[in-house]
Chain A
């Protein structure tokens, strides 16, 4: 008997919450109505001003008013569309108290137990253990906040709480491929969930959510099942998701962003261990983009070696040596021609 008393109290609270939702909907319609009326009331004013400007040949003013009307018409069509959508929205039919209690009893049949917290104004159920493709996520509490139902148009009035969480390795707030920060991404369930809440169909509401939790949509998870455990960085051991994992093409291992870099010449991703910091430009490069200076035998990136295979230092040194050589040559005095002894170089000519 006491148990049913709780059901009736909770059902009353739900009906009251739906009544507030209905009120909220009417208020939104009222706001849109007022906004739309305000827009409409501006038209005669513009019309009068425009007519006056044209009749008095104030062409510049007429053009200004025309431009303003053109701008306003764009807003007008947007507001009209919003107004039509709001005013055409289905009425919220409040369920009978008996129907809500029947829904609650059905929930008990289906899910074993329904939990009420009348102080916090919540109704919740606990799912069985959810497993998708051999990954177990434990059971979840689906908690509906009756106080938040009035904000149904703007936010979800329920939370999905992992009771025995097995969160994604890369993000502890993701407790299910479609649950993050205790919020379910409803996907195809968006409209049916809202309709079920609006109509007080509690059993359908909980059933739809359970069906979503039991379904894996590989096209749009927060974290895919393939990456659920995450990938451990080979260097520091940090667990990263697929998007933040970098594969070193040199050593064929996975690394996190802090333990990997890319070659600044060929753009290949490499781990810090396989990258080489060029002593010439200090840029990280891969092994393939380095070479040894033919003079000093030190390893440099290809950008820091010239065509002859010399690093900058060795090029400078070689230049200095060449300059010195030239200098030496230019400062050494030229040898004077030797003075020849008499008769050297002379030829006897017969008389």
Chain B
């Protein structure tokens, strides 16, 4: 099943990817960001916040954005 996955941390990755049917948003987050806590991210599907047990569907658009992003002087 194909979804659009956008990660707004680090390299600003955005691309289509394949996932297994029945994958929840919480499972996808755990797979993609294994050392991170979900509470530190804005996680949206199709531009809307969803519960963690939301089951992803074909062509869903998942966006993960950190709630804290360090600015810098230079």
What is A's interface to B at a CB cutoff of 8 Å?
102-103, 106, 109, 177-178, 184-189, 191-196, 199, 201, 203-204, 207-208, 211-215, 217, 219-222
Q: Are B73 and A211 interface neighbours, CB within 8 A?
A: no
| Contacts A185-B73, A185-B74; A201 near B14 (Cβ below 8 A) | yes
Taking the nearest CB of chain B, how far is it from the CB of A193, in angstroms?
8
Residues of B near A106 (CB, < 8 A) are: 47
Which 5 pairs between the two chains have the least Cβ-Cβ distance?
Answer: A178-B71, A187-B72, A195-B12, A192-B12, A217-B70
Q: Are A221 and B73 interface neighbours, CB within 8 A?
A: yes
What is B's interface to A at a CB cutoff of 8 Å?
6, 8-14, 42, 47, 63, 65-74
Q: SS class of chain B's interface: helix, strand, loop or mixed?
A: loop
| Contacts A204-B8, A207-B65; A199 near B71 (Cβ below 8 A) | no
Q: Are A204 and B69 interface neighbours, CB within 8 A?
A: no
Rounded to whole angstroms, the CA-CA distance of A203 and B61 in the bound complex is: 13
Q: Output the residue of A191, A193, A213 with the most chain B CB within 10 A.
A: A191
Across the interface, B71 reaches (CB within 8 A) one of A177, A191, A196, A201, namely A177
Residues of B near A186 (CB, < 8 A) are: 71-72
Q: Are A192 and B8 interface neighbours, CB within 8 A?
A: yes
Taking the nearest CB of chain B, how far is it from the CB of A337, in angstroms?
95
Taking the nearest CB of chain A, how far is it from the CB of B53, in angstroms?
23
Residues of B near A191 (CB, < 8 A) are: 10-12
A-B contact pairs, 20 of them (CB 8 A): A185-B73, A187-B69, A188-B69, A188-B71, A191-B10, A192-B12, A195-B13, A195-B14, A196-B8, A204-B8, A208-B65, A212-B69, A215-B68, A215-B69, A217-B70, A217-B71, A219-B72, A220-B71, A220-B72, A222-B73
